[in-house]
Amino acid sequence: MLDDKQPQLTPLDKLGEFGLIDHLTDSFETQNESTVKGIGDDAAVLNFNQNETVVTTDMLVEGIHFNLAYVPLKHLGYKSVIVNLSDIYAMNAIPSQILVSIAVSSRFPVEALEELYKGIKIACKNYNVDLIGGDTTSSTSGLMISITAIGTTKKRDLVYRDGAGENDLLVVSGDLGAAYLGLQILERENEVFKVNPNMQPDLSEYDYLVGRQLKPEAGKNIIELLKQLEVRPTSMIDISDGLSSEVLHLSKQSGYGFNIYEEKIPLDPMVIKTAEEFGINPITCALNGGEDYELLFTISQNDFSKIKGNPNLTVIGHSTEQNAENYLMLKGSDSAVPLTAQGWKAFEE
Ligand code: ADP
Ligand code: MG
């Protein structure tokens, strides 16, 4: 992927900082009316009229959040944007702008950053957001990417983490656990590669899982679906750290306990099959794996008929009472185990 020995690669210092910024951002065009001034001045100018503005930021550090041995830079660019947009959607807002700051060491040629920005550009296009600025600086070791996303919504549409009421239904979009298993596959193949670089792994069998890890999507469709169904969640969060941890957030912030049902947790057949291959319980992947970027939200029971039977939405439990504990209700028995952020160890063989 990155091969410094190839002669056609361009060292960063050939372009200089300003040349580099121009080179990377030249082809980005703004698409939103709210973007009054994008890249090129001392600051961007935005105009949202009467809407509430939602802002979030996330930093990704090489060696901590990603491993360039098996993460293509284009995917990294795409995913860095997605994780931020996911947070905007989790407020029931629509993202419209991003700022991208990078710190990069001289071991990266210009072509590597081009790949990164290709991924950023595809995300901007797919999600209709404008790149309106950022910062570029050098780093002594690896690559760091910090992205800030901005979005808007009407005040009455905003959804916080703390809004759940008594006996609300707990709903999740999509399916869970796949991104975690995708990472396990990539790490396993990377170990094989380190021992024998001539081994060309065939990952096609695991396409779904690896895709969920490398190229996640944010909750745009779900937010639009909820609007169309006329369902306004009472509380919402995106699943970045695993279902358990996110349920605990909704619980802590609302003060209500939650019961979730093991048999209701949506799992793709590939998750079940591959978890077995790794000797882990697929439910553990969903509870503690993370990086699924699905939306987890509560709705009033009155709204159940509106979402019932929708293949993208699964009711996995409900809130209980103020100050109650959080439980995972086990399949085929009356027993329950307390939900913990660290995962429920007893599940692991
Ligand atoms: P300043 O010196 O005022 O910080 P810069 O020269 O860093 O300005 O940036 C010039 C313009 O390019 C600004 O609009 C800034 O937001 C944008 N910019 C800088 N770095 C990046 C980047 N990595 N990605 C996108 N836009 C950037
Ligand atoms: Mg700057």
**What is residue 193's predicted lDDT score, i.e. its pLDDT?**
86
Determine the atom of ligand 1 nearest the C-alpha atom of 131: 25
Q: Is the pLDDT of residue 348 over 50?
A: no
Q: Phi/psi of residue 321, each to 5°?
A: -120, 165
Span from the CA of 252 to the centroid of ligand 1 (angstroms): 39
**What is residue 344's predicted lDDT score, i.e. its pLDDT?**
44
Average pLDDT of the chain to the nearest whole number: 94
Which range, of 71-80, 147-156, 319-328, 338-347, averages the lowest pLDDT? Answer: 338-347
The model's confidence at residue 345, banded by pLDDT at 50, 70 and 90, is very low
What's the token pair of residue 16? 């200089």
Span from the CA of 134 to the centroid of ligand 2 (angstroms): 7
Span from the CA of 332 to the centroid of ligand 1 (angstroms): 57
Ligand 1, atom 15, lies closest to the CA of 133
Choose one of 100, 136, 137, 146 to mutate for the ligand 1 pocket test, by most ligand atoms within 8 angstroms of C-beta.
Answer: 136
Which domains are assigned to the chain?
A: 12-157 (3.30.1330.10), 169-338 (3.90.650.10)
What would the DSSP string read from start to end of 236-248? EEE-SS-HHHHHH
List beta partners, residue 317: 170, 260
Q: Is the pLDDT of residue 330 over 80?
A: yes
**What is residue 7's predicted lDDT score, i.e. its pLDDT?**
62
What's the token pair of residue 129? 């957001």
Ligand 1, atom 8, lies closest to the CA of 42
Q: Is the pLDDT of residue 267 over 50?
A: yes
Q: Which ligand has the shortest distance to the CA of 25?
A: 1
Span from the CA of 98 to the centroid of ligand 2 (angstroms): 15
Residue 341 neighbours by CB under 8 Å, 6+ apart: 241, 244, 245, 248
Average pLDDT over residues 118-144: 97
Choose one of 17, 45, 135, 137 to mutate for the ligand 1 pocket test, by most ligand atoms within 8 angstroms of C-beta.
Answer: 135
Ligand 1, atom 17, lies closest to the CA of 133
233, 253, 277, 249: which is closest to 89 by C-alpha?
Answer: 233
Residue 235 and residue 300 in contact, taking contact as beta carbons nearer than 8 Å: no
pLDDT in tens, 23-63: 999 999 999 999 999 999 999 999 999 999 999 999 999 99
CB under 5 Å of ion ligand 2: residues: 135
- Hey, what's the torsion of the CAs at 245, 250, 251, 254, to 10 degrees? 160
Residues with CB under 6 A from ligand 1: 21, 25, 39-42, 100-102, 131, 133-136
**What is residue 266's predicted lDDT score, i.e. its pLDDT?**
98
Average pLDDT over residues 322-329: 97
pTM value? 0.93
**What is residue 1's predicted lDDT score, i.e. its pLDDT?**
53
Cα–Cα distance for residue pair 317/327, rounded to 1 Å: 10
Cα–Cα distance for residue pair 126/124, rounded to 1 Å: 6
List beta partners, residue 236: 297
241, 246, 253, 3: which is closest to 115 by C-alpha?
Answer: 3
Q: Is the pLDDT of residue 75 over 80?
A: yes
Determine the atom of ligand 1 nearest the C-alpha atom of 117: 24
Q: Which ligand has the shortest distance to the CA of 148?
A: 1
Span from the CA of 18 to the centroid of ligand 1 (angstroms): 8
**What is residue 343's predicted lDDT score, i.e. its pLDDT?**
46
Greater model confidence, 85 or 192: 85
Cα–Cα distance for residue pair 32/150, rounded to 1 Å: 12
**What is residue 346's predicted lDDT score, i.e. its pLDDT?**
43
pLDDT in tens, 275-289: 999 999 999 999 999
Determine the atom of ligand 1 nearest the C-alpha atom of 133: 16
The model's confidence at residue 200, banded by pLDDT at 50, 70 and 90, is confident
pLDDT in tens, 133-179: 999 999 998 999 999 999 999 999 999 999 999 999 999 999 999 99
Cα–Cα distance for residue pair 52/32, rounded to 1 Å: 16
Four-residue CA torsion sign, 344, 347, 348, 349: positive
Q: Is the pLDDT of residue 347 over 60?
A: no
**What is residue 141's predicted lDDT score, i.e. its pLDDT?**
86
Cα–Cα distance for residue pair 299/225, rounded to 1 Å: 14
Strand order of the sheet with strand 130-138? 52-61, 144-153, 94-104, 130-138
Q: In angstroms, how far is CA 106 from the centroid of its own chain?
A: 29
In the chain, % of residues over pLDDT 70: 96
